[in-house]
Structure 1
Amino acid sequence: MKKPFLGFLFAIILAFSTTVRAEGMCGENESVIFNCELHSSTASLCEAKDAKVLTYRYGKEEKIELEISDAGFKRGNIFHFSDVPYSGGGEAHIRFSRGGYTYYLYDKTVKTESGPQFSAGIVIYRGIRRIGDRICVNDASIRQSAYSEIEREEYRDIRSK
C-alpha cells in the first residue's frame, strides 16, 4: 500500500518543483508570439500578459541558453517587426540583435503549383555574414499580435529557406 502513495507523493513534488510552461519556452503568465521547435531545442518569443514585455528564450526546458528581453527598455528598441506580401503568400520577420549577432524569426508562405508552401525558422547573421538558417519542425508562425504590437521597420530580404 505504501508504494502507490510514495509514487503519488513523488509526482506531486515533481509537479511543484518544475517551472510551469504555457507553450514552448513561455511561462504561464506569458502569451506566445512565436514558438519554433528545433531538433533538440526550442526558440520562443513570449509577451508578458501584464507588463507587455517581450522575451526571447532559446534552449531546453531545463537549460535556457539565450534569453533576450526588452524589460526596462522603451518598446521598439530591442525587437522589430517587418513583413512583405507575395502573390499568394507573404513573409514576416521579427529582428533583434545581441553581441554582434542578429536574429530573424520568420514565417513564410509561398504559392506553388501544388498549393501553398509554409516554412518558419530562425536566420542568424554575424555582422553582415549569414551563418545559419534553422528550420522549425513544428507548425510555427508569427502570431497576429506581432503585426500590431511590435515596432515596425522596413522589410529586409534575409534569404530564408
Structure 2
Amino acid sequence: MLAASMLLLAGCAGAEQGDAVSQESSEAPEAPANRAGASPVPSPAAAKQVDCTASEETVFSCAMPGGKRLAVCAPSAGPAQYRFGTKEPELVLRGGKWARAMYSGGGEAQIAFANGDTRYIVFSRMVRTNFAAGEPNYPAISDGVLIMRDDELVAVRPCAGGQADMPVQYDAAERVFAQEDELFTDETMRADPDWSR
C-alpha cells in the first residue's frame, strides 16, 4: 500500500499546465507518446535537489512522512517547479496555477500542478475551530499536497507533523503564478487535525 501511495506521488508522465519530469525507479510508468506538435519532456538537469537553491525563491517547503520532501521553487528565470523526493527529485512538475480564499478566522492557498490527468494541489490552510463569543479562535493549521486524477480524490498527504517548514507564501505565489478565481478543491479539509469521515 505504501509503495502504491508513493507511486501516486510520482504519477503519470505528461503535461497539461506545465512540463513533467519523473526520475522514479523503473517502477514508474512510461511516458506516453508525444501528441502531434508537442515538444518532448525537458531534461531534469535543472533540478538537482528537492529543496530550493539559494538562487531560487521558496514558495512552499515541507518534510513528508517517510523522509521525503516537497518543495515549490521559483527560479530567477523560467517557470516555477514542484519537486518531490529525497535528496534528488523523483518528480518535477513545471508551471502551475494558484488560488486563495479567505475564511472567518483563517484562509487557504492552493497551487495546482498538472501531470497528464493527475493534479497535485499543494495547500496551506488555517481554519477557525471555536466560534464561541469572546473565546479564542483556536485555529487548525494544515499543509500538504492533495492528489486528484480526473477530478477524483486519490490521496491527501499532509506534511510531517501536519505543518510545512514554509507554508505557501502569498507574495511569491502572486508574482510567480497565474491566479484562478476559486480554489481548485475543497477536499483539503480532510487534512485538518480534527476532520473525521
With the shorter chain as reference, the TM-score category is 0.7 to 0.9
Residue identity opposite 1:55 in structure 2: Q
Give the SS at the match of 2:124: strand
Larger Rg, first or second structure (1 or 2) = 1
Offset at residue 98 of structure 1 (A): 0.6
Mapping for residues 67-146 of structure 1, pairs under 5 Å: 67-69=92-94, 78-113=95-130, 115-137=138-160, 138-139=163-164, 140-144=166-170, 145-146=172-173
Give the SS at the match of 1:146: helix
- Residue equivalent to 2:59: 33
RMSD: 2.1
Measured against aligned partners, the alpha-carbon deviations of 1:109-155 in whole angstroms (never above 9, x if no partner) come to: 00122611110110001112111100012434101311343101122
Give the SS at the match of 1:109: strand
Q: How many residues end up aligned between the 2 structures?
A: 131
Residue identity opposite 2:186 in structure 1: I
- Provide the C-alpha distance between the structure 2 equivalents of 1:66 and 1:99, rounded to a whole number of angstroms: 13
Contact 2:97 2:112 in 1 (8 A): yes
Identity level (%):
25
Residue identity opposite 1:158 in structure 2: D
Contact 1:20 1:28 in 2 (8 A): no
- Residue equivalent to 2:38: none
TM-score scaled to structure 2, two decimals? 0.61
Give the SS at the match of 1:27: coil
Offset at residue 54 of structure 1 (A): 0.8
Offset at residue 64 of structure 1 (A): 1.5
Q: Which runs of 4+ in 1 moved over 4 A?
A: none
Measured against aligned partners, the alpha-carbon deviations of 1:64-90 in whole angstroms (never above 9, x if no partner) come to: 210122xxxxxxxx3111011100101
Residue identity opposite 2:168 in structure 1: I
TM-score scaled to structure 1, two decimals? 0.73
Q: 2:69 aligns with which of 39, 42, 51?
A: 42
Measured against aligned partners, the alpha-carbon deviations of 1:39-65 in whole angstroms (never above 9, x if no partner) come to: 12111010113x15311110011x321
- Residue equivalent to 1:73: none
Contact 2:80 2:176 in 1 (8 A): no
Q: Which runs of no fewer than 5 residues in structure 1 stay unpaired?
A: 1-18, 70-77
Contact 1:110 1:118 in 2 (8 A): yes
Residue identity opposite 2:113 in structure 1: F
Measured against aligned partners, the alpha-carbon deviations of 1:12-49 in whole angstroms (never above 9, x if no partner) come to: xxxxxxx996xx62122111001121012111010113
Structure with the larger RCO, 1 or 2 (CA within 8 Å, 6+ apart): 2
Q: 1:151 aligns with which of 171, 178, 186?
A: 178
Contact 1:100 1:127 in 2 (8 A): yes
